[in-house]
Chains A and B, each alone.
Chain A
């Protein structure tokens, strides 16, 4: 690591990176949950949200919730499959942590700069489907089963639009490496003007829209939250989970939102890059810039979540297969044509 010109061995570096990832995800989930779920949703609904915990606008609410969940009794349905029931939340959260291994927060701040970064990120994010299915099946509950089956169908269907959106970016950047994509945006130019770099959102706006829609579906958020339809199935596949295990699902949900927002910010908005900042300053400011950009993307995702009703399962599927995938293919064709032509 040239950042501090220190000579740290690979073991210590690995330990630092692991600790950073382990801390970032729950903290990110907490911040996103508080700002968007508790405060933004409340203000959109003309109310205040938590105000008392912690004194200042209830910032302590989620921390208190977390502590409350940890001290709860571990209840498992009598007919549940014990081991699968216990492992399901872990599988869901695992995929979230793994995504963060490739997201760059600065020119040198990345856990592992894989050359197949994008491919790895998308592959690992689809591991959560297994966790959902495990949860639904092991709960020995009809509602949970219904929810899990809906979730599996939905998550698999929306992998493709997600992929197609990202492939457009990859074609334009010319590399699967996430650092390379950020550098391509930083060094690019808009019609010859290179002051602002070239965030891919300008050329890949179809891809950006597709990515947001597909990410919304991957996170099972309204308008795609049939699996956890609150007013029908009461939490769907999570219904039998209480206490610590439910906390895992909660962290998984918001942590994945955090991760997807970070991915979108990296792929379309330029990640940690700001025009004009290079080298060591980029390493210091990078994480904050990335954070600001991902909050903007998360704002869009949660804004849509709190405004729209949910689509029915078959409407959801027909949207994915009949509308989004053709759009994605169109985007890919256009990108390819423009890439070769210019």
Chain B
């Protein structure tokens, strides 16, 4: 005859759990806030981008499509040479391919890419997951401030 306490103890556990409130968050009526560092979507700050193509080259999936051209701008001072400036024509990130690794955000030398914890951008067609320059710029509004770091850390909060 098996000894009973173990069986009864198990029943006690389920009864206790039944009487406690459930942990379900009823999405979409209630929503949980992800952590500020959560990798939800990538935002583009266009004025910082110099079309260096580092992000497109380092992406493991090659999901960033960049096109740009060089323009001549008038010199800053009188008598100087005209400056050539790279202008961004097309900057698309294909979120159907993106694996949310963050290498592009990290390698950008000019701080043009930022992480945002926003995650609600699912579409009914895969082709709509290709976010163009304008949409990536709109995500900048959701980028959180860099947060303070734990005690003992040396460097300041990065993006």
Contacts and interface: CB of A to CB of B under 8 A. Distances in A.
Direct contact of A and B (CB under 8 A): yes
A46 B11 contact: no
A42 B15 CA distance: 12
A15 to B, nearest CB: 42
Contacts of B72: none
Nearest to A327: B1
B38 to A, nearest CB: 23
A160 B7 CA distance: 24
A46 B22 contact: yes
Given A43-B18, A45-B17, A323-B1, A307 B10 contact: yes
B93 to A, nearest CB: 34
A303 B24 contact: no
B103 to A, nearest CB: 37
Contacts of A307: 10-11, 13-14
Nearest to B15: A303
A319 to B, nearest CB: 9
Nearest to B23: A46
Interface in A293-311: 303-304, 306-308
Which of B1, B10, B18, B26 neighbours the largest number of chain A CB atoms within 10 Å of its CB?
B18
Given A304-B11, A307-B11, A323-B1, A47 B18 contact: no
A46 B26 contact: no
A42 to B, nearest CB: 7
B20 interface: yes
Interface in B16-32: 17-18, 20, 22-24, 26
Interface string A14-47: 0000000000000000000000000010111111
Nearest to A43: B18
A302 to B, nearest CB: 10
Interface residues of B, number: 14
A323 B11 CA distance: 22
Nearest to B19: A43
A46 B14 contact: no
A44 B11 contact: no
A308 B7 CA distance: 8
A43 B22 CA distance: 6
A47 B11 contact: no
A40 B18 contact: yes
A47 B7 contact: no
A120 B14 CA distance: 36
Nearest to B26: A51
Contacts of A306: 14
A63 interface: no
Contacts of A156: none
Contacts of A48: 22, 24, 26
Interface in A265-309: 303-304, 306-308
A54 to B, nearest CB: 15
Interface in A47-92: 47-48, 51
A95 to B, nearest CB: 30
A46 B1 contact: no
B3 to A, nearest CB: 13
A43 B17 contact: yes
Contact of B14 (A44, A47, A323): A44
Contacts of B18: 40, 43-44
A323 B2 CA distance: 10
B23 A47 contact: yes
Contacts of B15: 44, 303
Contacts of B7: 308
Contacts of B11: 303-304, 307
Contact of A42 (B1, B10, B22): B22
Given A304-B11, A307-B13, 5 more contacts: A43-B17, A44-B17, A47-B22, A307-B14, A308-B7
Interface of B: 1, 7, 10-11, 13-15, 17-18, 20, 22-24, 26
Report, nearest first, the 6 A-B pairs whose CB atoms are least far apart: A48-B24, A43-B18, A44-B14, A44-B18, A307-B14, A47-B24
29 contacts: A40-B18, A43-B17, A43-B18, A43-B22, A44-B14, A44-B15, A44-B17, A44-B18, A46-B17, A46-B20, A46-B22, A46-B23, A46-B24, A47-B22, A47-B24, A48-B22, A48-B24, A303-B11, A303-B14, A303-B15, A304-B11, A306-B14, A307-B10, A307-B11, A307-B13, A307-B14, A308-B7, A308-B10, A323-B1
